Chain A
Amino acid sequence: MILEVKKLQTGYGKLQVLRGVDLCVGKESVGLFGPNGAGKTTLINAIMGIVKPWSGAIEFEGKSIAGQATHLVARSGIALVPQERELFPGLSVADNLELGAVYVPRGKAIKAQQLEIVLELFPILKERIKQYVGTLSGGQQRMVAIARALMANPALLILDEPSLGLQPSIVAEVFDRLSILKKDIAILVTEQNVRESLKAIDRGYVMENGAIVIEDTAKGLATNPHVLSAYLGI
């Protein structure tokens, strides 16, 4: 297993959000679905050390990372594309991408190759390489966020709503690219756009109210009556 989350409970202040979450990711692509406020981002924040777990375990490549500082989690090989992008608006695209690689040993080692790969994935960024990220459109910034995470050459890539704010044709493109990537990297992705993402994932979880309610393969999810009615509008 690359990532293993066991009986995880956490929240903000006194507000409990996750009520015992079990989830794992192997060398595969895993989806995490659920309504707004279900706790998807909170789970990701707990994995990244942005919120501290109250109880339960988080293991990455067999080592516990529960409660570790965010920059150490990142250096160990987990890259995050946050829901809010969290880029450096006053730095160029090139600098944003470079900073994605240089503090992660496994990214730093192959920085130049990795840059070629991500620019091939997102050709528009090649044209905008010197531009300040703050002056890019929202969709282009989303691409920078994904590219920055890939620069770390992560063992696990976590994407929190990567299609948010992207036009449908680009969404399809992003998931196309994720399908290419998943051959090499483990992926955990949350999405409102269940239909598109089901094409790109192997397995998925449905989270409601801070707990996992369904766990199945992509095929299974696509025919699950609850998923069909609640998330695919059928």
Chain B
Amino acid sequence: MANKRNAAIFAALIVAAVAGILVWRPTVIIYGLQAAGLYASIAIPMGLILGIVHIVNLAHGEFMMVAAYLTYMVCTALGIDPFVAMIPVALVTALVGFIVYKLTIRQALKAPELNQLILTFGLAISLTQLANLLFTSQTRKMSFGYVSASLSIGELSFGVYNFVFVAIAVLMVIGLRLFLTRTTAGKAALAVGQNPKGAAIVGIDVDKTYGLVFALATGMVGMMGAIFITRSSIFPAVGSPFTMKSFCLIAMAGIGNIPGILGASVLLGISENFLKAFRETRGWADIVFFVLIITVILGRSIKGKKA
């Protein structure tokens, strides 16, 4: 009872806050949602890996960076659009992910969690340095007309292109949900995530499932790398803040809660853009995720103590 009432009050407060900001600074909500879409669509594959393989992949954003460079090379060489390159890039990244899983992650699955973190952190550094060697630290950019598409409603004028990421994030959640709950392979993946020993007992190849889930997730983040380069310039360290933010969003949503990543992303995107709306607080926007993660973890441990 009390819990339900608290939740209702909390929801009402959020709705009121959002409505307030919407009237006062509409762009905070618009750009907040767009940022949320980008954050969520990058974080969701990382959440998938954590939920099923139980590995925190600290090289997640770096996989996106690698895919972005791959897209850059392919698109400049062949003169094609990243949205065309996105599928082959995703497939190649998935393959790279699968090989990385087989060669490294797999060996560390039974090791203590700290070893796994060090391993994926090492992977992240290696990928970044590799990009540094191959492409130097100079930023690369591709320009496309459609990115500057904008919409005017009365006085208000804003870019609409980044809503693409909102659509992708929502499609990812729906697609994963259908895959995990409606297909045998998806159910088997969930079963492996929930109880690997039980899964092996019924004949599921646990190692293969881990490998395929890892490949699927790296393929998804590879696709994001291809789309990422349409809106942002890239450089070897471009992935690292996305690793951190994705990790923060997954922690906020809770392990295995993929739709929750959407909600967490909206909170992060709007908070960041709220701070960016004022000159005095603009510099603080990049550490919002840090404050959010601390709040959520503190909140959860206090709740855990009460229960």
| Residues in A lying within 8 Å of B, measured CB to CB | 48, 50, 69-71, 74-75, 79-80, 82, 85-91, 95, 98-100, 102-104, 148, 152
**Contact A104:B203 (CB < 8 A) given known A91-B191, A99-B187:** yes
Contact B187 A91 (CB under 8 A): yes
Interface residues on B, range: 10 to 19
Contact of B202 among A69, A74, A85, A89 (CB under 8 A): A74
Chain A's closest residue to B198 (CB) is A86
> Which chain B residues border A80 with CB–CB below 8 Å?
201
Contact of A86 among B190, B197, B203 (CB under 8 A): B197
**Contact A88:B195 (CB < 8 A) given known A71-B206, A102-B184:** yes
A50 to B184, alpha carbons, bound, how many Å? 24
Chain B's closest residue to A133 (CB) is B194
**Can you show 19 pairs from A to B with CB atoms below 8 A apart?**
A69-B200, A69-B205, A71-B199, A71-B200, A74-B202, A85-B198, A86-B195, A86-B198, A88-B191, A88-B195, A89-B194, A91-B187, A91-B190, A98-B184, A99-B184, A103-B202, A104-B202, A152-B202, A152-B203
- A-B residue pair count with CB separations less than 8 angstroms: 68
A59 to B161, alpha carbons, bound, how many Å? 63
* CB of B255, distance to nearest CB on chain A (Å): 12
* CB of A231, distance to nearest CB on chain B (Å): 28
Chain A's closest residue to B205 (CB) is A71
Contact B194 A82 (CB under 8 A): no
Contact A50 B190 (CB under 8 A): no
Contact A99 B191 (CB under 8 A): yes
> Which chain A residues border B199 with CB–CB below 8 Å?
71, 88, 99
Contact B191 A86 (CB under 8 A): no
A71 to B188, alpha carbons, bound, how many Å? 13
Contact B195 A74 (CB under 8 A): no
| Residues in B lying within 8 Å of A, measured CB to CB | 184, 187-188, 190-191, 194-195, 197-206, 256
Q: Which among B191, B197, B200, B256 has the greatest number of chain A C-beta atoms within 10 A?
A: B200
**Contact A103:B190 (CB < 8 A) given known A86-B197, A88-B198:** no
**Contact A100:B202 (CB < 8 A) given known A90-B190, A91-B187, A91-B190:** yes
> Which chain B residues border A74 with CB–CB below 8 Å?
200-203
A195 to B109, alpha carbons, bound, how many Å? 43
> Which chain B residues border A102 with CB–CB below 8 Å?
184, 188
> Which chain B residues border A95 with CB–CB below 8 Å?
187, 191
Contact of A91 among B194, B203, B205 (CB under 8 A): B194
A102 to B186, alpha carbons, bound, how many Å? 13
A86 to B201, alpha carbons, bound, how many Å? 9
Contact A88 B204 (CB under 8 A): no
> Which chain A residues border B202 with CB–CB below 8 Å?
74, 99-100, 103-104, 148, 152
